[in-house]
Structure 1
């Protein structure tokens, strides 16, 4: 079984490269920056050198991960003048979650001028009536149906940005995102102190149901694998990413990048926005959240499947070649190690067995920090081959739906491009 021994060796080398040279994507200590500027110590270094010459927890800067010992953080400086902020919330049939999310935005402990704008994107579930009756201070905007070529969320955000007027910052946040009382102040403080034009946080998703516990941490893990946060946060690199659920954008930087019209048809709007802003010279930051949580439930595999598959093929730019490469790559790095163990044990091929086991453990080791961030037990990392198989099937299904004309479907709208 020489072929399996070769495949096992290739998979093992691939994982060594991923663990050491892919921007330390598996670490969970990229948090909201504080103290030294987030780019100061990494400029000019390779991804494998980012931790050289400092302590193992020096990069937390803005929230100690649950799995690490707290340490004394540098004091935060208050802005001399707290900038004006408009919080823009696009909402399409979100009456079920707004009581637990919008309420956290109207109660933000922000020392400067701030207003909340909810864009009612043609809801049919009483979203407008609910907001008007419970939060009279919230401005409600009706954007109308999006014109051809516009994604619904981006059309709604455009209407909210227009309503905001001349403010210093825009907080673009989804209707299912709940913010701690100091969330906005922390975002603005980071942007001002570090001269950032985009400060984005990957909201902590729900992990209540069994399927959420299996799929959700892997979703963030795979996102970080595609877009290593450290690479995205470094000026001058091609990697650019953001999390649409929580993105604080400097208004002047958004205008300099051409506004939301530049990405009007994007399905993965957060990554597209980060690319446009970074391409125009903006300084961006993406990290895991400590003060921002998603409250949207995904109680079963079907809802999670739709969440992933609606944008997976768009992530591959609707390319069959990229789809084929992704399927082969996922199979090689996630499935071959486990298959090598089975084949090695069945045939008595010790080298194949050892290579497969060592690679499986390395794979699980890179996943463990994300599981700990989500409060899940580390043995769950051993199920990564199974979880990766699910994601492979979701990606293939995303392509199938695209070619059936269903594209990226969301609440009655379907997008076939972007």
Structure 2
């Protein structure tokens, strides 16, 4: 997936920034070499007039070192901030990966549901065509009016439109899934056949600990951003204090190349530098206030993210409970529809009911089964949302093992 590749590249960028910030705390060493030639012409007045030209060569080789004393923690805080920014971006990548996986699973369930709905729509279309043929025969015998035949024909056309729409929707879902996987968007056949995934779901264990939310990558990213901005406040505060640096150099300088490494050409320098801000027009104080303001914003965002996490879990669990209640009622309705269909089929074989009544009963059962498919899709999507809300699967803290499926 290209979004994941982009997130991975962003992490590489922040890793380099962290290495750069950490390197600022280390001594710096430089080696320089130079050569120069100077030509000078001097006007002579006494005792002889005229000019004198001299040419001077110089050769230098210097090894220099410098180190900043981090007395106020500016460099240390900058390194900490870069580290927490890197950790936050890694959590953002994990959140993106979880989101993409959840979206891919949801699209897969939609595709499987559409495949089963296509089968039901095809069955319903065949039933309506049979009903239309029966009504046309009765119309030719003068037993029905043309209005009833046209109504049945309209139902058949509506079924054909529904079947075509479901096929188009399935192709679009498969294209979305292909694009999500980083492939060229085109419909592709799914392996295996559709099956009942809801029956394979294990129940959610009661009393899930709230500590599970600490695994959510968005919460961990918000916490790391909060720590990074806390460190940035320390950096902004340290800018108001003097900077103390130590520098030293060891090298050679000579006018003749062959004399460059002689003891008399040795040059050693050691220096200490202090740079303190005197007047910045309030710039440093304003930068510190801005850092504090960004920290307050991060605190508010973190508190909001925590509340949002609890809200999502509560909503998903409550919706799950209501969905399963509806499923139990719908299963009872399907059972009754099947019993009515079986009863009408037995009565039809005995010549007690018309064939159209039996076909209408079959259609009612198919409608109920399609409602069940849509409800099962909502249950599966709810399970995916629960995994996202919890930051993964759940683990029984007492037994130390998984109590639900991944």
TM-score bracket, normalised by the shorter chain, equals under 0.3
Q: TM-score, normalised by structure 1?
A: 0.22
Q: TM-score, normalised by structure 2?
A: 0.23
* Rg larger in structure: 2
